């Protein structure tokens, strides 16, 4: 059955939950819709595995729970995809590499467990650059991921599959990982929200590492409110990760704030010869808008700009060499 026409526009998780409040089989209809969309957009190669039967069964269970009048979780029925570097118990996780082909995880990442506890539905695992090393999602054992806006454009990486899954409407939100831009850059390329939280805000337990002192699980969504809701669920202390922050943040802003923020723009980056003039002009235009709104925006000198990328590659590749040696 084609469910597309009878589904509302899920502009946010809040709107979706309102829909579920008066639709007894809403989760089942929703999962069926997304499974159909995944099949229709299979050419994008965003997924490496789709949990069709499992996600439908969970949807039916959640519909039954609502019908009994029981309290529901913060992510009740929300359809989520996860990057193929995030462990999900009894499911394959390969980091898009033949090295880990057919490896089945024996436990779930803490972030996955937290989402499941709040009644999310995990619909599948997303393609990525091998071992999360790349910025185009062309370096995967499963083949390249296509940008839904144009097959001639890369989606960014390494979390390209997770970004495209949200961009193309194949799930509501997704999880990726970000070491040096692997959530932020594909979110930008795909025109969606991408959040790399403060290092340590989300437990790294169950995340296949690239460089442990840089890695962080991140969130893709269509809007800020949904990213905030997911972050509220998956942040906080974890005995399995000694680097995680101990404070649990229970609420994040869901929209524009009335606060005035002091914002610094790196003058050296804006004037760097490698920066596209269109991007430079766009950033300065945004800075002007923010000033008009009352936010102090100042261009500041940062003379270490040329050392950032070299330092990043020295540190991350050293860590990656150590970590990957365990697979030898």
pLDDT for position 255: 85
For 218-269, write each residue's pLDDT tens digit.
Answer: 999 999 999 999 999 999 999 999 999 999 999 999 988 889 999 999 999 9
Cα 191 off chain centre by: 13
Q: What amino acid positions are annotated as catalytic residues?
A: 83, 158, 182
pLDDT for position 3: 43
Cα 43 to Cα 151: distance, rounded to the nearest angstrom: 10
Cα 180 to Cα 311: distance, rounded to the nearest angstrom: 12
Cα 206 off chain centre by: 15
Residues 6+ apart with CB under 8 A from 48: 84, 94, 96, 124, 125, 126, 127, 142, 161
DSSP state of 174: E
Please state whether the predicted TM-score (pTM) of the whole model is above 0.75. Answer: yes
Cβ burial, residue 176 (10 Å; 0-12/13-18/19+): buried
Contact between 158 and 128 (Cβ < 8 Å): yes
Residues 6+ apart with CB under 8 A from 72: 17, 62, 65, 66, 119
DSSP 294-328: T--EEEE--TTHHHHHHHHHHHHHHHHHHHHGGG-
Cβ burial, residue 122 (10 Å; 0-12/13-18/19+): buried
pLDDT for position 6: 55
Tell me how far apart the 2 most distant CA atoms of the chain are, in Å.
62
Q: Which of 309, 298, 314, 297 is nearest to 272 (CA)?
A: 309
pLDDT for position 326: 87
pLDDT for position 4: 44
Counting residues of the chain whose pLDDT is more than 90, the rounded percentage is 92
For the chain, 328 residues long, the average pLDDT of each consecutive 10-residue run is 55 95 96 97 98 98 98 98 98 97 97 98 98 97 98 97 98 98 98 97 97 97 97 97 95 89 94 93 96 96 92 96 89
pLDDT for position 324: 92
pLDDT for position 7: 62
């Amino acid at each position: 059955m084609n469910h597309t026409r009878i589904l509302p526009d899920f502009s946010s998780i809040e709107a979706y939950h309102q829909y579920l409040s008066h639709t007894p089989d809403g989760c089942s209809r929703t999962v069926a819709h997304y499974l159909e969309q995944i099949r229709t957009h299979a050419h994008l190669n965003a997924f490496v595995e789709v949990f069709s039967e499992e996600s439908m069964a969970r949807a039916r269970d959640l519909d039954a729970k609502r019908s009994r009048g029981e309290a529901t979780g913060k992510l009740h029925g929300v359809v989520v995809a996860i990057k193929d570097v995030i462990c999900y118990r009894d499911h394959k996780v390969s980091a898009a590499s033949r090295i880990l082909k057919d490896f089945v995880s024996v436990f779930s990442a803490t972030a996955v467990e937290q989402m499941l506890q709040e009644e999310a539905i995990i619909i599948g695992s997303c393609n990525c650059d091998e071992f999360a090393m790349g910025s185009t999602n062309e370096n995967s054992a499963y083949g390249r991921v296509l940008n839904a806006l144009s097959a001639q454009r890369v989606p960014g990486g390494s979390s390209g599959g997770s970004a495209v899954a949200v961009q193309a409407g194949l799930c509501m939100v997704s999880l990726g990982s970000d070491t040096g831009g692997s959530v932020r850059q594909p979110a930008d390329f795909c025109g969606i929200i991408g959040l790399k939280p403060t290092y340590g805000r989300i437990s790294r337990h169950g995340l296949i590492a690239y460089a442990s002192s840089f890695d962080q699980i991140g969130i893709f969504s269509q809007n800020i409110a949904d990213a905030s809701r997911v972050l509220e669920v998956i942040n906080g202390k974890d005995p399995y990760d000694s680097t995680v922050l101990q404070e649990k943040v229970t609420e994040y802003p869901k929209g524009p704030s009335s606060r005035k923020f002091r914002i610094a723009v790196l003058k050296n980056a804006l004037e760097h010869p490698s920066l596209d003039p269109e991007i430079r002009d766009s950033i300065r235009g945004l800075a002007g808008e923010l000033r008009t709104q009352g936010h102090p925006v100042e261009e500041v000198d940062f003379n270490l700009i040329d050392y950032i990328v070299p330092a990043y590659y020295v540190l991350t590749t050293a860590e990656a060499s150590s970590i990957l040696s365990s697979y030898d």
